[in-house]
Structure 1
Amino acid sequence: MPHPAVRLVAISEEPLSVAEVVDSLDDPTAGGLVLFVGRVRDHDGGKGVKALSYSAHPSALDRLAEVCDRVAAAHDVTGLAAVHRVGDLAIGDLAVVVATTAAHRGSSFDASEALIDTLKAEVPIWKHQGFTDGTEEWVGAP
């Protein structure tokens, strides 16, 4: 059974919506909402990025839900949401959106940091980057 604070967990091939994430956390008891948006940037490791694609293992959605449940249980939050994009993305596209709400901002900041850090460490979503110099690399792949 998911933690009651977990409101939205998704992996999508469609563009992500910050408004959808924020709306999913609407709660009059929440005095703080902390939002993190990860965007595709035009560089990495000193190289120019020209193309980027995310791939997810079939277990990724279940793993993301588990991470959300653990973070919600470990922090005093009223709401938590996490969505990640897969497929081909362009520079500037949203790759990941996470947010938490809590009665007070400190709990929400702590939970949001734990959520994005744990998601990146544990959810099997891999990034393939193509660089302007013709090289490429996988990030996070086993």
Structure 2
Amino acid sequence: MSTLSGAQSLPASAAPIASVQAEAFDLTREYEALRRQTGGAGAIVSFTGLVRDLNLSDDVTALELEHYPGMTEKCLDRIARQAIVRFGLHAARIIHRVGLLHAGDPIVLVLTASAHRREAFEACEFIMDYLKSEAPFWKKEWTADGPRWLDQRTADRDALVRWRAAA
């Protein structure tokens, strides 16, 4: 499924942590844990993705996410490792939720730590683009008309083309 290279050899202090969970995450706790792990970082960037309440011109009441246990975590770890190597990060953290989530609920958290802000921002965007396109999640939206499975967006595939061209 993934076109990312295999896991890179990284120093222990830069080991990424990726997890998939049903329960909500605590942004402050995760930020502080990453900050303590990366004493020399000059920047930490965070991104939190939320369940949209409107998609394809329909009101969305919930989003149900399924995954392939074991395979999904390995894919997220591979994406984080690729970002660490590519952008020279001190560390990265990815948390992706599964199960039934309601409009406004947090779905994903990405934290990147680097010496400088530019690398942290770019790495965060890189991770999200790869998560949207290559992580094995299946998403079902719930609307007033019932559920529908979501397909990958063209814009998400296009983002990967941009990253690959810049490599």
Partner of 1:24: 33
Give the secondary structure class of the aligned counterpart of 1:49: strand
1:28-43 to 2 correspondence within 5 Å? Answer: 28-43=39-54
Shift of 1:101: 0.7
Higher helix share: 2
Gaps of 5+ in 1: none
CA RMSD of superposed structures (Å): 1.7
Partner of 1:131: 143
Shift of 1:140: 4.2
Q: Which has the higher contact order (CA 8 A, sep 6+)?
A: 1
1:1-142 to 2 correspondence within 5 Å? Answer: 3-4=10-11, 5-26=14-35, 27-58=38-69, 59-132=71-144, 134-140=145-151
* Residue pair 2:87, 2:123 contacting (<8 A) in 1 also: yes
- TM-score when scaled to structure 1? 0.90
Gaps of 5+ in 2: 1-6, 153-167
Give the secondary structure class of the aligned counterpart of 2:111: strand
Write the distance in 1 (CA, Å) between the matches of 2:92 and 2:105: 22
* Residue pair 1:125, 1:140 contacting (<8 A) in 2 also: no
How many aligned positions are there? 140
> For 1:30-82, what per-residue CA distance to the aligned partner results, in whole angstroms no more than 9, with x for missing partners?
11111100011211111100121110013111111111111111111111010
> For 1:79-138, what per-residue CA distance to the aligned partner results, in whole angstroms no more than 9, with x for missing partners?
101010000111111100001011110010111110111111111011110112x14321
Higher strand share: 1
* Percentage identity across paired residues of the two chains: 29
Shift of 1:21: 2.5
- TM-score when scaled to structure 2? 0.77
* Residue pair 1:24, 1:81 contacting (<8 A) in 2 also: no
Moved over 6 A (4+): none
